[in-house]
Every structure is written in C-alpha cells, then in structure tokens.
C-alpha cells in the first residue's frame, strides 16, 4: 500500500509519501494540490507530526524509516547529509570529499537538489563556499531553516 498525505506546516503545505515500511518522499506542495485525493497512513501522519515538531523548535532529529529512490551517487550524498548535526553546515566541497569524490562539488549540489526527503535528509545544511547556495524548496525557506537551527546566512 502506498500512502500520500498533505499537511499544513509553518513553512507551507507539504506532501508526504510512504510505502508499507518507509517514508519515500517529502516535498513542498502548492495549496491547490492539497485538494487532490489522499490516502494517509500512520507513517505519513507521524512524519508530518515530527516535521511540525522540528519547525516548532521541539525536535532536532527525526526518528523515521527512510527509503529515498536515487542513483548510487545520490544515495552516497544523501547518506552523508544525514551525518550533518543539527545547527551545523557543510559545503558542497566538504560533502564531495566525505563521499570520496573530492572534485564532485557540482554533482553533490545536483544530488542535494534531487533529494526527495526535504528536511528528513537535511540538504538545507549544505551551503556554497561563498554563500548560502541553492535549495529545491526555495532559498528563503533554506534561510529560515538555518535560522531555526541558529545559523545566520
């Protein structure tokens, strides 16, 4: 059974997708998309609750089973992102070095942009060498997320 739920958060609407055992995608959703059919589950509801707790400043880590779909390179990048602690950032270059591909800063940026699990896999904690860098969920939201974690950019 694949589940899908749409939820209101402090940063806007999100869509959470899950299969029987893991969260497979979380993304920002336009308000008009929230009227499409849903098939919520305990896992989609739990994910939304944990995201709301994080955005309220009551949670620093997520306790959810994750199964993002991507290439082996993307999987390595996303795995490295899970090691960035709350309240810290890394550069694209640092992530590239951490996964054994020191010249792959741009592909790391692309993998961050393709991250299907916004917030849960913290691509917002990856910044450019000389600036905030991009963010698939909007750079203004990235700045808000970093500020929430005590990082001014």
In 3D space, the residue among 112, 104, 86 whose CA is nearest the CA of residue 94 turns out to be: 104
CA distance to 56, 74, 120, 145, per residue, from 110 (Å) = 29, 9, 17, 20
Q: Which of 34, 58, 112, 123 is catalytic?
A: 123
Give the C-alpha separation, 60 to 102, whole Å: 29
Give the C-alpha separation, 58 to 79, whole Å: 24
115-146-22 Cα angle (round to 5): 35
Q: How many CA atoms within 13 Å lie on the side-chain side of 143?
A: 7
Give the C-alpha separation, 52 to 141, whole Å: 15
Asked if 123 is an active-site residue, the reply is: yes
Residues carrying an active site annotation: 123
């Amino acid at each position: 059974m694949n589940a899908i739920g749409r939820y209101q958060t402090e940063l806007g609407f999100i869509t959470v997708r899950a299969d029987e055992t893991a969260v497979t995608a979380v993304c920002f959703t336009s308000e008009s998309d929230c009227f499409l059919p849903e098939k919520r589950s305990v896992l989609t509801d739990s994910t939304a609750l944990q995201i709301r707790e994080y955005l309220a400043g009551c949670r620093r880590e997520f306790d959810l089973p994750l199964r993002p779909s991507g290439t082996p390179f993307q999987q390595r990048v996303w795995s490295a992102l899970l090691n960035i602690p709350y309240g810290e950032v890394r550069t694209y270059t640092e992530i590239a070095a951490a996964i054994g591909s020191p010249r792959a800063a741009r592909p790391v940026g692309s993998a961050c942009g393709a991250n299907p699990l916004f917030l849960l896999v913290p691509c917002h904690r990856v910044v450019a060498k000389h600036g905030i860098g991009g963010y698939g969920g909007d750079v203004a939201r990235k700045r808000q997320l970093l500020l929430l974690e005590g990082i001014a950019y």
